[in-house]
Amino acid sequence: MLFLWLYMFYSCAGSCAGLATRGSPAPPRFAPPLPHLLQPAAGEPGEESSLEEQRAAPDSASPISTFFNGSGTKRLPQAIIIGVKKGGTRALLEFLRVHPDVRAVGAEPHFFDRNYERGLAWYRDLMPRTLEGQITMEKTPSYFVTREAPARISAMAKGTKLIVVVRDPVTRAISDYTQTLSKKPDIPSFESLTFKNRTTGLIDTSWSAIQIGIYAKHLENWLLHSPPGQLLFVSGERLISDPAGELGRVQDFLGLKRIVTDKHFYFNKTKGFPCLKKAEGSSKPHCLGKTKGRTHPDIDQEVVQRLRDFYRPFNMKFYQMTGQDFGWD
């Protein structure tokens, strides 16, 4: 009798509860906090947070968190824009982000030069989530001139594709100086920084603005760890005059379908360089910010000519090493 009574009690409790709630929607099983859902994804355009703030959730996300935070997996980059500073790396990255199969970090991680001791797990955490068939990318122009970077990238993955955007080294040096001048108006003149001794005409190769442009020297270090076919050299000048053509070469190199074409660009006469008709995730035209395309100061033409003479043999060697004539002379 006791068992029969217990059976009847629990049966009644279950059916009564069902009757009480019939016709009313069941309460939600979970309620994610709205502030979390409104946070931008790490590394997306417009986000100005530090790298520490860009660290996202672990890869082993639950189905619920994956649904709300975007599906996909965080992977180490299969391709990296490794240089060069003031060559056009930001423009190339923004152009590539239009491609649906490219996912890239917005900020420069500086992992292989400044943050290597943090480890690959920290580096991977900075990457955006990607789906099968998408490429993860990042760009840090200082890698090209960092002596340890080639070996470190090779240790991460020997097949990592490397892209170098190069530009006339004289123009690049002036652009580099212009950027520094905008932040430090009281720095010495370009002419005085160029020479160790202007009377003798000895170029100061310890000045980073000059040293970066000795491309052949830096490339020798990369070729010790990566075969030539693993590197692609993009012309910064052609990226302005023919962005679709250079993007075509880059898409081929990355094994991507040529989706980014001339229909994506228009030339902005005010800025003096091409802009996107539509940026990633937007229906509006997009040009690089005011820090790009600064007006260069007037430089003594004798100094410019001496720099051209200085760079000429290095340029010739670089042309031979890459199999490309960039036409800087």
Task: Please give the residue that has the higher pLDDT: either 241 or 46.
Answer: 241
Q: Is 86 an active-site residue? A: yes
In whole angstroms, give the CA distance from residue 32 to residue 229.
48
Report helix, strand or coil for 128: coil
Residues in the chain: 329
Instruction: Pick out the residues of the known binding site for 3'-phosphoadenylyl sulfate.
Output: 86-90, 167, 175, 292-296
166 DSSP β-pair partners = 235
pLDDT band at residue 280 using 50, 70 and 90 as cut-offs: low
The arithmetic mean of pLDDT across residues 220-238, rounded, is 97
Beta strand segments in the chain, E: 73-74, 79-83, 102-104, 129-130, 135-139, 161-166, 195-197, 202-203, 231-235, 265-268, 273-276
Q: Are 150 and 112 in contact (CB under 8 A)?
A: no
Please tell me the CATH code under which domain 73-322 is placed: 3.40.50.300
In whole angstroms, give the CA distance from residue 196 to residue 142.
24
pLDDT digits (tens, 9 = 90+) for 281-297: 555 666 765 555 568 88
In whole angstroms, give the CA distance from residue 218 to residue 204.
17
| Single-letter residue type at 278 | K
C-alpha closest to that of 156 among 120, 121, 114:
120
pLDDT digits (tens, 9 = 90+) for 91-126: 999 999 999 999 999 899 999 999 999 999 999 999
The arithmetic mean of pLDDT across residues 54-60, rounded, is 35
- The verdict on whether omega for the bond into residue 84 sits within 30 degrees of 0, i.e. cis, is yes
In whole angstroms, give the CA distance from residue 286 to residue 278.
6
Say if residue 159's pLDDT is above 60.
yes
In whole angstroms, give the CA distance from residue 68 to residue 36.
9
In whole angstroms, give the CA distance from residue 307 to residue 196.
13
In whole angstroms, give the CA distance from residue 255 to residue 68.
30
In whole angstroms, give the CA distance from residue 204 to residue 39.
47
DSSP state for residue 260 in the 8-state scheme: S
- Over pLDDT 90: what percentage of the chain? 66
Instruction: Pick out the residues of the known binding site.
Output: 86-90, 167, 175, 292-296
12 contacts: CB under 8 Å, gap ≥ 6? none
Instruction: Delimit the domains of the chain by residue range.
Output: 73-322
Say if residue 59's pLDDT is above 80.
no
C-alpha closest to that of 254 among 273, 234, 237, 281:
234
Q: Are 201 and 306 in contact (CB under 8 A)?
A: yes
Query: Which among 86, 158, 161, 277 is annotated as catalytic?
Result: 86
Q: Are 308 and 329 in contact (CB under 8 A)?
A: yes
pLDDT band at residue 71 using 50, 70 and 90 as cut-offs: confident
Got the DSSP string for 162-175?
EEEEE--HHHHHHH
